[in-house]
Amino acid sequence: MSADRGQLAYEARWEGHKLGERGAAPAWDDLGEEGRAVWRRIAEKLADDQTARFLAESDTIEREEALRQENRRLRVALHDAIRRPLGVTPDSAVEFYDQRQADEAEARRAGGGHL
């Protein structure tokens, strides 16, 4: 029969330590049900923490890739916009176009302000 997660966590914690003449596995048997329950909760917490850390890393990797793709689209939109006459929004820039910002830029331009 294979060891439960609590026993695996217990044995991993004491790996390399003698724990008496018999080693870690018999020491697990000597813990009693309450001691084994504590180590099972520790193993569950470790698994939850590892899952949360994995999900956080995975989310970060996905977000970084999304930002890289957005950066590529912004570069294309910028170069397309540079080649267009003033006031013409290229298709590649539509997702980034904000009418309010365009109006503010026009007001600054009309008022002699800097962009």
Give me the pLDDT at residue 18, please: 64
Give me the pLDDT at residue 67, please: 93
Give me the pLDDT at residue 72, please: 92
- For the chain, domain boundaries: 5-110
DSSP string, 22-89: T-HHHHHHHTHHHHHHHHHHHHHHHHHHHHHHHHHHHHHHHHHHHHHHHHHHHHHHHHHHHTSPTTPP
Give me the pLDDT at residue 71, please: 93
Q: What is the pLDDT of residues 51-80, one digit of tens each?
A: 777 777 778 888 899 999 999 999 998 888
Low pLDDT (below 50) residues in the chain: 1
Give me the pLDDT at residue 1, please: 42
This prediction's pTM: 0.43
